[in-house]
Structures are given as C-alpha cells and as structure tokens.
Amino acid sequence: MPEFARKYSNSYYTSYSRQYNSSLARKTYYRETQRQTNSEPVPLRNNVNSKKVKRNNLIHRIISVFLVSLIGLFVLPAGFNHYVKPILKGGSSYGYLKADYEQMRFPTANYISNSWYLGQRSLQGANTEKPLMSEITEGQEIESLKNQLIGLAAAYPSIHPAVYVWNYEDGSYVDMNADEVFATASIIKLPVLVQLFRAIESNDVNIYDDMTLTEYFRTEGSGSLQFKAGGSKYSIDDLARIMITESDNSATNMLVAKIGSMTNVNSGIRDWGLKKTHMQTWLPDLAGTNKTTAREMARILYNIDNPGFLSTTSREKIFDYMGHVHNNRLIQAGLGAGATFLHKTGDIGSMLGDAGIVYTPKDKKYIVVILANRPHNSPLGKEFIVRASELIYNTLAG
C-alpha cells in the first residue's frame, strides 16, 4: 500500500489517536500537579527545639532586668545629684559652670520685653481695661479742614504725612493717617519726660539728684552735652530741660538710665494704654526703630494736663520745658502772631515731625501732631508741615 494511503488507514489512525490521547493525559496531569503545588504548599517539618527557645528567652529577660536595675540604682541617682538637684536648688556642683535657666526658658526676653518685675523681664500688652491715661473724647471731624490737608498732601507726592488735630473747645478733630505707625525721631523724648516725672512723683527719682556725664552716655546728634567735659555733674532738672529744649541725646540716655532702662519707659507706655508707641534704641535712633502714631502722641499731650495722671507741679515743669524748645521752624512757623506753642520736635533723615499744644491770642486751644515721612533730608518735609500748620491755625484760631 502506498505511504500516502497508509496514513489514512484505520489502523494507522487508531494508533495515532492512542498516542495523542496518552500525551494529552500526561500534560493534563502535569498541569494539575503544578496547580496543587502552587496553591497548597507542602508543609515543612518543624525541627526547632521549643525548650531551647524558652531557655534563651529566660536568659534575655534576666539580662534586661539586670541592666535596668543597674541604671536605676547607679546611673539615675548620679545624674540626679549632679544635674537635677542643683537645678532645683538653684545652684551647680560645678562652680565654673554658670547657667541662666530663665534665659533658657525665655531666650528672647532680653530684646523683646517691656516689663521688669521682681528681676524678671517679660512682654506685656497695653493696659486697655484700666489704662492710666484717659482717652481723648472726639466730637465731629472737621471735614473742610481734612479736605484741605488732603489737597495739600497731593501737592507733595514725595511726602507721606500723618496729621491729628483735636480742639479743646468742642472735641472736633481731624484724622489723617493718625493710627499709622511712624518713626518718632526725637519726639520719643516726650514719653521719656512723662515717665521721668511719674517716677519723681512715686519718689523713685528726685528732681535734684545729680548724674555724672561719662563716655558711656555721651553720644552724637543734637544737643550740647556731647561737647561737655567728662565727669561734669548735672541735676535731673537740668538734664530734663536740656533734653527737651535742645533735644539733647546724651541727656536723654542719662535720664532713661536714671528711670531704669528702656524697659521701664516701655512698661510705663503700656500702663498708659498705648499700643503702638515704644522705645527700642538708645539715641540717636537714626534707623527709626522707636515708633509712635500721631493719635497716641496726641493722647500723651492731652494727659499732661490730666490731674488724675500728673500733678500740677509736674505739669508746670513739663510745660515750662516744652515752651522753650529751640526749634521753632516747623508747626510754630505756621502759627499766627501772639500764639504760644508747647511742643517737641523730631528730625531724622527719613522722618520729620512736631507735636504740641497751641494757645491762640483769642484763648483757643488745640493739640496738633504732624509726622512726615520724606526722601532723606528733603526740605519738602518742612515745607509741608509749615503749610499744614497754617491751614490748621486759620481754621481753629477763631
């Protein structure tokens, strides 16, 4: 039979079918075996000795207890005696080591503080519930005068002013940026003066005490004290007068030290109820870090005349100093003939200002504060203040 015919004979086909089925069965068995092997892993015989494991765990526990006991009996007591106990007692086992634990607790207290109590510095907010200074009672705002001042400011675009005016007669006022914070320049000497007299009234300072001018207090800027001989003595009265009339920086620093420090000045300011006025730098403060607002400076002026805040004797002394200020080129230059001005000026490169109380020949009286940020030493700052003073005086002088 030909080869081709044999392939299709029944016997050949039957033999081929048997071989195919046998091969298919082997493949199926292999796949089933693999599936069972993957899904059901054969468990391993456990050859670990459980008694040995328990014995090792017991040894580990004994060693751990021994080490903890050793630390508790020897290390911790030694640490307590050398470190904790001295801290609790306020001393130290090592005389050459000094630790300021208060400084560790409050690391910023030395430069962010305004209160000193029982030898500790702290930062306190303004006393707004029971302030020592009375609030200024405002009536109606003088819109016509405010509009004139706004128009004047528009004519000086390089000058950024703050103006506050208050009329004693009816409480009418003008507020132009009066709550904006400005550098005080030498106007900070006004709250220093007020705090000085409050210290005098509480018998912490005597106005006839003497202070010695030393190199520590001598400083540049305004005032004649910087040119005086070292070792010269001045009474508190003399220093206060020089501080205001000459705007003397050396005298100011001496008086701040006599009161206690800048912290004492700031503590007083917070007690008065002022939130934004503070002294941060000894004079001269050319960087303008000492701050105030026109409204708060007006409140200080208002309370100098408050018998519940300062005595009549203190008020007369303060007004005497303020009535003899040498610089009459700012607000005073815009007043009419016969007007009296009790004030304090301030002048640094970036800010020029004046604050005081005006008495007119017709017995009118008003508070005026003008602060002007300007390009460095620009004469336009002075020009604006003089012209603003003229507008205010012409409106309120009567």
Q: What are phi and psi of 307, to 5 degrees?
A: -65, -20
265 domain-assigned: yes
Residues 169 and 271 in one domain: yes
15 domain-assigned: no
Predicted confidence at residue 332, as pLDDT, reads 98
Residue among 102, 138, 101, 96 at smallest CA distance from 120: 102
Residues 365 and 289 in one domain: yes
Positive/negative CA dihedral, 13, 15, 18, 22: negative
**Cβ partners under 8 Å of residue 311, min gap 6:** 201
Q: Hey, how many other C-beta atoms are within 10 angstroms of the C-beta on 5?
A: 9
Residue among 315, 339, 289, 38 at smallest CA distance from 181: 289
Residues 70 and 193 in one domain: no
Query: Per-residue pLDDT for the chain (398 aa), expressed as one digit of tens each?
Result: 445 444 444 554 455 445 545 554 555 544 555 555 555 554 545 555 666 666 667 787 888 888 887 776 777 776 666 666 665 555 555 555 565 656 665 555 555 566 666 566 666 778 788 999 999 999 999 999 999 999 999 999 999 999 999 999 999 999 999 999 999 999 999 999 999 999 999 999 999 999 999 999 999 999 999 999 999 999 999 999 999 999 999 999 999 999 998 999 999 999 999 999 999 999 999 999 999 999 999 999 999 999 999 999 999 999 999 999 999 999 999 999 999 999 999 999 999 999 999 999 999 999 999 999 999 999 999 999 999 999 999 999 97
Predicted confidence at residue 16, as pLDDT, reads 47
Residues 271 and 358 in one domain: yes
Residues 385 and 302 in one domain: yes
* Structural tokens at position 56: 């090792």
Predicted confidence at residue 126, as pLDDT, reads 81
**Cβ partners under 8 Å of residue 300, min gap 6:** 133, 190, 191, 194, 272, 274, 277
Q: In Å, how far from its chain's centre is CA 146?
A: 32
**Cβ partners under 8 Å of residue 360, min gap 6:** 336, 338, 339, 393, 396, 397, 398
Residues 187 and 305 in one domain: yes
Give the integer Cα–Cα distance in Å for 196 and 212. Answer: 17
6 domain-assigned: no
Give the integer Cα–Cα distance in Å for 112 and 297. Answer: 22
285 domain-assigned: yes
Q: Give kind and range of the element (H or E) at residue 263.
A: helix 262-272
Of 122, 157, 186, which one is at a domain's C-terminal end? 122
Residues 289 and 226 in one domain: yes
Residues 215 and 321 in one domain: yes
Residues 194 and 254 in one domain: yes
Q: What are the angstrom distances between the C-alpha of 161 and each of 191, 288, 373?
A: 21, 16, 6
- Give, in degrees to the nearest 5, the angle at Cα 351 between 271 and 255: 45
351 domain-assigned: yes
pTM of the entire predicted model:
0.73
Positive/negative CA dihedral, 12, 13, 14, 19: positive
Looking at residue 188, which CATH number applies to its domain? 3.40.710.10
Give the integer Cα–Cα distance in Å for 235 and 201. Answer: 16
Token look-up 């005032």 returns 223
Whole domain around residue 85: which residue ranges?
Answer: 50-109+115-122
Q: Hey, how many other C-beta atoms are within 10 angstroms of the C-beta on 283?
A: 26
Residues 228 and 104 in one domain: no
Number of domains into which the chain is organized: 2
Predicted confidence at residue 188, as pLDDT, reads 98
Residue among 201, 225, 199, 200 at smallest CA distance from 213: 225
In this structure, are residues 192 and 252 in contact, taking their beta carbons and an 8 Å threshold?
Answer: yes
266 domain-assigned: yes
With both helix axes pointing from N to C terminus, report the angle between 189-201 and 262-272 in degrees, rounded to the nearest 10: 90
In this structure, are residues 276 and 131 in contact, taking their beta carbons and an 8 Å threshold?
Answer: no
